[in-house]
């Protein structure tokens, strides 16, 4: 039994370095996500607000001129798919496929946030528990310096893991709301185009 416990202790101790490295990677990725998220937010305010206003006032009578009223070179996922749907306005099958492709693209954009939400707290917890073993050993032998070092590592990994998870959670919630609004606009446009094709 002692041998099995020693093996488990060696395995858990050996996992500390990979866990810390992964936490550092997630921390760096969360900082990049904050920057890209801010860029997306500014783009939403500048471009998609005007696009949403055009889509809100859309009717079967003016849907044909929608492409002329929207920006053509905007880095917006919504505008990209609006132009694709208008280019394939005569095919209901293509429109349905574009709606599905938009959902896939939106889910791909939220992938990093989902990863941070799931892995950040898990790795933070692992980084907390792994150094506790050596810290308890140091406490039992009177090695206060070793115990203090391992406790420092445990608390630091917890903070980094929770920070990464918090960034992922906040960006995920906001992006979900954005994409739900966009898919509502695209479904409305698809319904208008399909009705126009039916009545033609």
Higher-confidence residue: 196 or 154? 154
Work out the burial of residue 30: count CB atoms within 10 Å of its CB; fewer than 13 is exposed, 13-18 middle, 19 or more buried.
Answer: buried
> Looking at the 3D structure of the chain, how many domains does it have?
1
17 pLDDT higher than 80: yes
Q: How far apart are CA 30 and CA 109, in angstroms?
A: 14
Domain interval for residue 192: 2-199
Encode pLDDT of 127-161 as tens digits.
888 888 777 777 777 778 888 888 888 899 999 99
According to the model, what pLDDT value does residue 65 have? 76
Say if residues 33 and 168 touch (Cβ distance below 8 Å): yes
Say if residues 156 and 24 touch (Cβ distance below 8 Å): no
According to the model, what pLDDT value does residue 8 have? 74
pTM for this entry: 0.83
């Amino acid at each position: 039994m002692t041998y099995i416990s020693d093996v488990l202790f060696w395995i858990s101790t050996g996992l500390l370095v990979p866990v810390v490295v992964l936490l550092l990677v997630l921390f760096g990725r969360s900082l990049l996500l904050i920057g890209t998220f801010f860029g997306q937010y500014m783009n939403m305010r500048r471009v998609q607000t005007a696009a949403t206003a055009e889509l809100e006032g859309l009717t079967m009578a003016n849907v044909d001129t929608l492409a002329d009223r929207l920006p053509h070179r905007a880095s917006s996922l919504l505008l990209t798919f609006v132009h694709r749907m208008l280019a394939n306005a005569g095919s209901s099958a293509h429109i349905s496929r574009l709606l599905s492709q938009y959902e896939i693209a939106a889910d791909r954009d939220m992938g990093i946030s989902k990863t941070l939400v799931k892995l950040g707290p898990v790795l933070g917890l692992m980084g907390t528990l792994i150094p506790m073993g050596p810290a308890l050993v140091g406490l039992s032998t009177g090695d206060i310096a070793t115990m203090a070092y391992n406790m420092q590592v445990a608390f630091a990994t917890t903070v980094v893991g929770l920070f990464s998870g918090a960034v992922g959670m906040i960006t995920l919630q906001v992006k979900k709301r954005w994409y739900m609004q966009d898919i509502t606009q695209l479904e409305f446009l698809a319904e208008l185009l399909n009705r126009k094709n039916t009545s033609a």
